Amino acid sequence: MTAILHQIIYKLTSLVMSIAMVFGINLELLKVDDSNWNTNYTYVFVHGLSGWGEYDDIYKLMPYWGMFGGDLMKYLRDKGFDVAAASVAPVNSAWDRACELYAQLTGTRTDYGKAHSERCNHERFGEDFTGRALIESFSEEDKINILGHSFGGATVRLFASIMEKGSAEEIAATPENELSDYFKGGKGSWIYSVTALAAPSNGTSTYNVGENEEKEEPEEVPEEKSAIEEAFGKIFNNLFATFTGGEKDNRIESDYASYDMYIDNALELNKTIITYKDTYYFAIPCSATEKQADGTYAPIESKMESLFVSSSAAMGAYTGVTKGGYVIDETWLENDGLVNTVSAMAPSSAPWTNYTVGNVNPGVWNVMPTYDGDHMSLQGGMTKMNDVKDLYVEHLSMINSL
């Protein structure tokens, strides 16, 4: 009931704003102070696993960005920011999602790459966005800022990396006249900043909890939905099936998001992703757990969606060694219900520093203070609602002031 009342209040507020505009009431107080801005490039938000964006009809009914608290995109536009919410594949790999993001931003047909599509056993070309680009312009002059929530973090990191370095594999496998400009690289300067929001940049121990290290069986992507997929599936039921398209297709297992989020695989993916010297990087980790007397971390149930409580408790007590030999130690216990807080900080092998006001440099990951909330808190939350509007206004204003 509280969520419904909150939504009614939001809609009434929007109505008041509209009436004020019609009658010429001064709305300057609704705008942010942009006196110290040096830029105001477009902000592109990229959803996580099983999410959706503005190309999807469901966004009008339930905005991924804002949830029951109202459409965050509309709110930020009213504040003077140019923002857009991309729609990429719900469960596919970071590579496929990055290719779809490029097509949406440039208003072109999705090209997954000749080498990649042949190796992964799926069609090379996907949806065509010609004539319906997500944003008005994308170039070195019209840069963008990209923000990715959850697995959207891996998506935007890989996307930005390919923009700069291209893909040697695709260049070698594709005739020049067939090669997408995306895979040619040299466009790192088109991206002003990258922000990873509660992102499993180094994987998540969700997949390792309860794993029998002694079983002599090859590692497989679970046929059952991942923890994140399952959480959204419980909330949206049939709606989830629509997004995932039911059964998986014939592509190889490594071309799914669930594969990319295993710790071993995430660390391997990180080796292929560069940190571009002229781009600003930020990470906002989350935590809704507290340390116990025995050293484990328990979920704070007043802050965590009930769907995440069991996975949070399991992650908060789990240490071990991955099949690839990576040690999951006590630093991995704190979590947001689905992602370990330490994993949502800087990606492995990337330079980083703790964020300091007035001392932000490009080419290094700036780790922001840990947000006090669960994995869905930076979306606005579901039953545990979080008013994150000010957080985004402050973060976007800070980037504009760089």
Q: Using one digit for the tens of pLDDT, what is the confidence trace for 150-186?
A: 999 999 999 999 999 999 999 999 999 999 999 999 9
Could you tell me the pLDDT band of residue 237, with boundaries at 50, 70 and 90?
A: very low
Residue with the bigger pLDDT between 11 and 108: it is 108
pLDDT in tens, 286-299: 999 999 999 999 99
SS3 136: coil
227-236 and 306-315 helices cross at what angle (nearest 10)? 170
Residue 70: the pLDDT is 94
Of the candidates 377, 204, 207, 215, the residue with the CA atom closest to the CA atom of residue 284: 377
Residue 232: the pLDDT is 47
SS3 267: helix
Residue 342 CB contacts under 8 Å (≥ 6 apart), including other chains: 202, 285, 331, 332, 334
DSSP symbol at 389: H
Q: What are phi and psi of 52, to 5 degrees?
A: -155, 165
Architecture (CATH level 2) of domain 37-212+220-401: 3-Layer(aba) Sandwich (3.40)
pLDDT in tens, 35-79: 999 999 999 999 999 999 999 999 999 999 999 999 999 999 999
Specify the range with the lowest mean pLDDT, choosing from 205-219, 297-311, 319-333, 385-399. 205-219
**How far, in Å, CA of 363 to CA of 190, rounded?**
14
Residue 387: the pLDDT is 95
Residue 31: the pLDDT is 80
82 near 121, Cβ under 8 Å?
A: no
Residue 25: the pLDDT is 42
CA torsion 240-246-250-251 (nearest 10°) is 0
Residue 312: the pLDDT is 97
Q: Which two three-digit tokens encode residue 229?
A: 């997929």
Pairing of strands 320-321, 297-299: unpaired
Whether 88 has a pLDDT exceeding 80, the answer reads yes
DSSP symbol at 231: H
- Percent pLDDT > 90 in the chain is 81
Per the DSSP assignment, residues forming a β-bridge with 321 are 327
DSSP symbol at 201: B
Could you tell me the pLDDT band of residue 210, with boundaries at 50, 70 and 90?
A: low
Residue 369 CB neighbours (<10 A) = 9
Could you tell me the pLDDT band of residue 366, with boundaries at 50, 70 and 90?
A: very high
**How far, in Å, CA of 285 to CA of 275, rounded?**
19
SS3 140: coil
Could you tell me the pLDDT band of residue 259, with boundaries at 50, 70 and 90?
A: very high
Residue 248: the pLDDT is 56
Mean pLDDT over 77-89 rounds to 98
Mean pLDDT over 245-271 rounds to 87
Could you tell me the pLDDT band of residue 250, with boundaries at 50, 70 and 90?
A: confident
SS3 144: strand
Residue 263: the pLDDT is 98
Pairing of strands 83-86, 109-111: unpaired
Q: What is the CA 327 to chain-centroid distance, rounded?
A: 25
121 near 250, Cβ under 8 Å?
A: yes
Q: What are phi and psi of 234, to 5 degrees?
A: -65, -30
